[in-house]
């Protein structure tokens, strides 16, 4: 039978997710029934029809990770909606622990997303490895990138799987926050999210997503500011950013200081354009400034956070940021990624070095 393995795994995850709350005593009431085996069996059976109908077993190579993740979430919510309907039809909703049901829904949902993320990561790397390596646009990229491909395939599989799983879970958990921020940003009539073209691994261009934190006529405001303010012009030419940027809106200043403006980049991570941790995303105009170090930027996916961000963020000078990024690429490890992610949380909560 085609695609039987993912179906078996999905059923196993649904059942395991139902048992886990029992182990942690999720029920908030001693009178409530913690577990209903017949309900779990119904959900597992219903998934055999709903999941294929939602298209999560399709094998199209052009289907995006975002499409698969959203379809998985939709399919699981439909299944659980069916189980809730069954409870009310059988008049058993009052005797079943609502806490257990919620824990089951969340636990199995996260498991389904992680399974999809790992599958996407493995297939993506296998597909890329099977292609013939094209001549590098940047001569120096070839040596470093090829060395990374041949020396750390297993590590890259783990990194990609971790990226997709973590980013997918964060999108699901933070979706209410994302919706509120989008609403607040759109109040001035402009788009909530914008994309700036950045250079990724192997010189590929992509749109790095952010919540819009600037006024609609930001380019005109910047041009006028640089023409009349020599100090601002010198700072822009040196750092490609301004500490006191007149283009930033009130909500935008808060988003930048809290780093919430970068949350849409979770979609870049799921799509494979970025990583949770990596060197700073750079614009094409900056490439010439990096000299020989440019090969390290083009040999790794840019990250939402990185060694430079937990070492002073925007307070670090340009040369230091480059040095930190190069060090990260040379000495990459999953342990280091986890360390940087944990330290990023602390840096963001303190709001240090952000503007």
Say if residues 248 and 225 touch (Cβ distance below 8 Å): no
Of 81, 96, 130, the domain-final residue: 130
User: Tens of pLDDT along 148-199?
Assistant: 554 566 677 778 888 888 888 788 778 888 889 999 988 877 889 988 899 9
* 174 part of a folded domain: yes
Within this chain, do residues 126 and 192 fall inside the same structural domain, yes or no?
no
pLDDT category, 138, cuts 50, 70, 90? Answer: very low
Residue 198, φ and ψ in degrees, nearest 5 = -125, 165
Average pLDDT (98-102) is 82
Within this chain, do residues 279 and 159 fall inside the same structural domain, yes or no?
yes
Say if residues 75 and 52 touch (Cβ distance below 8 Å): no
pLDDT category, 137, cuts 50, 70, 90? Answer: very low
User: Tens of pLDDT along 25-52?
Assistant: 544 444 444 567 778 888 888 888 888 8
Residue 23 confidence (pLDDT): 62
Q: Token pair of 222, please?
A: 């910047």
Mean pLDDT of the chain: 79
State how far the Cα of 123 lies from the Cα of 314, in Å rounded to an integer.
Answer: 37
- For residue 143, pLDDT over 60 is answered with no
Number of domains composing the chain: 2
Of 130, 156, 171, the domain-final residue: 130
Say which DSSP state 90 is in. T
- Note down the domain range covering 202: 139-213+248-350
Residue 275, φ and ψ in degrees, nearest 5 = -125, 160
Give every CB contact of residue 71 below 8 A, 6+ residues apart in sequence. Answer: 54, 55, 56
Of 130, 164, 191, the domain-final residue: 130
Of 33 and 283, the one with more pLDDT: 283
Q: Token pair of 288, please?
A: 């010439």
* 170 part of a folded domain: yes
Within this chain, do residues 208 and 153 fall inside the same structural domain, yes or no?
yes
State how far the Cα of 199 lies from the Cα of 41, in Å rounded to an integer.
Answer: 49
- For residue 136, pLDDT over 80 is answered with no
Within this chain, do residues 78 and 185 fall inside the same structural domain, yes or no?
no
Residue 134 confidence (pLDDT): 45
Within this chain, do residues 61 and 110 fall inside the same structural domain, yes or no?
yes
Token match 């070492």: residue?
Answer: 311
Residue 206 confidence (pLDDT): 93
pTM over 0.75: no
- For residue 338, pLDDT over 50 is answered with yes
**Lowest-confidence region among 219-223, 270-274, 287-291, 351-355:** 351-355
Within this chain, do residues 201 and 274 fall inside the same structural domain, yes or no?
yes
Within this chain, do residues 119 and 149 fall inside the same structural domain, yes or no?
no
User: Tens of pLDDT along 208-244?
Assistant: 999 998 888 878 888 888 888 888 788 777 767 777 7
pLDDT category, 320, cuts 50, 70, 90? Answer: confident
* 292 part of a folded domain: yes
For the beta carbon of residue 136, count every other beta carbon within 10 angstroms. 17
* 38 part of a folded domain: yes
* 198 part of a folded domain: yes
Within this chain, do residues 105 and 153 fall inside the same structural domain, yes or no?
no
Average pLDDT (66-84) is 88
Of 314 and 114, the one with more pLDDT: 114
Characterise 78 by phi-psi region: left (phi > 0), alpha (psi -120 to 50), beta (else): alpha
Residue 35, φ and ψ in degrees, nearest 5 = -135, 140
Residue 311 confidence (pLDDT): 80
State how far the Cα of 335 lies from the Cα of 167, in Å rounded to an integer.
Answer: 18
Within this chain, do residues 94 and 206 fall inside the same structural domain, yes or no?
no
State how far the Cα of 232 lies from the Cα of 256, in Å rounded to an integer.
Answer: 19
* 241 part of a folded domain: no
Within this chain, do residues 120 and 23 fall inside the same structural domain, yes or no?
yes
Within this chain, do residues 125 and 143 fall inside the same structural domain, yes or no?
no
Of 137 and 339, the one with more pLDDT: 339
* 232 part of a folded domain: no
User: Tens of pLDDT along 256-274?
Assistant: 888 899 999 998 998 889 9
Evaluated on CA atoms 349, 350, 353, 355, the torsion sign reads positive
- For residue 145, pLDDT over 80 is answered with no
Within this chain, do residues 107 and 156 fall inside the same structural domain, yes or no?
no
State how far the Cα of 172 lies from the Cα of 26, in Å rounded to an integer.
Answer: 21
Residue 263 confidence (pLDDT): 92
Say if residues 324 and 308 touch (Cβ distance below 8 Å): yes
* 236 part of a folded domain: no
Residue 30 confidence (pLDDT): 44
């Amino acid at each position: 039978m085609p695609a039987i393995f993912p179906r078996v795994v999905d059923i196993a995850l649904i059942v395991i997710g139902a048992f886990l709350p029992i182990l942690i005593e999720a029920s908030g009431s001693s009178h409530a029934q913690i577990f209903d085996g017949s309900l779990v069996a119904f959900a597992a059976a219903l998934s055999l029809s709903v999941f294929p109908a939602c298209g999560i077993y399709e094998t199209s190579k052009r289907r995006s990770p975002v499409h698969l993740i959203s379809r998985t979430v939709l399919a699981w919510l439909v299944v659980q909606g069916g189980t809730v309907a069954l409870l009310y039809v059988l008049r058993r909703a009052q005797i079943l622990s609502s806490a257990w049901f919620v824990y089951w829904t969340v636990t199995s949902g996260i498991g389904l997303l992680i399974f999809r993320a790992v599958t996407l990561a493995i297939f993506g790397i296998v597909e890329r490895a099977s292609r013939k390596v094209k001549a590098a646009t940047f001569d120096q990229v070839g040596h470093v990138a090829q060395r990374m491909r041949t020396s750390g395939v297993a590590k890259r599989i783990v990194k990609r799987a971790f990226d997709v799983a973590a980013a997918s879970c964060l999108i699901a958990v933070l979706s209410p926050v994302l919706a509120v921020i989008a609403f607040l940003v759109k109040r001035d009539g402009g788009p909530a999210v914008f994309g700036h073209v950045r250079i990724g691994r192997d010189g590929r261009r992509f749109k790095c997503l952010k919540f819009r934190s600037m006024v609609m006529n930001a380019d005109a405001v910047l041009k006028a500011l640089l023409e009349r303010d020599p100090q601002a012009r010198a700072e822009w030419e040196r750092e490609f950013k301004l500490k006191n940027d007149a283009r930033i809106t009130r909500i935008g200043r808060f988003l930048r200081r809290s780093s919430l403006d970068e949350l849409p980049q979770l979609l870049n991570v799921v799509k494979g354009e970025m990583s949770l941790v990596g060197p700073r995303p750079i614009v094409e105009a900056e490439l010439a400034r990096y000299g020989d170090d440019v090969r390290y930027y083009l040999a790794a996916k840019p990250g939402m956070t990185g060694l430079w961000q937990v070492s002073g963020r925007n307070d670090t000078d340009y040369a230091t940021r480059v040095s930190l990024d190069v060090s990260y690429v040379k000495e990459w490890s999953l342990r280091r990624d986890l360390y940087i992610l944990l330290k990023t949380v602390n840096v963001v909560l303190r709001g240090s070095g952000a503007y």
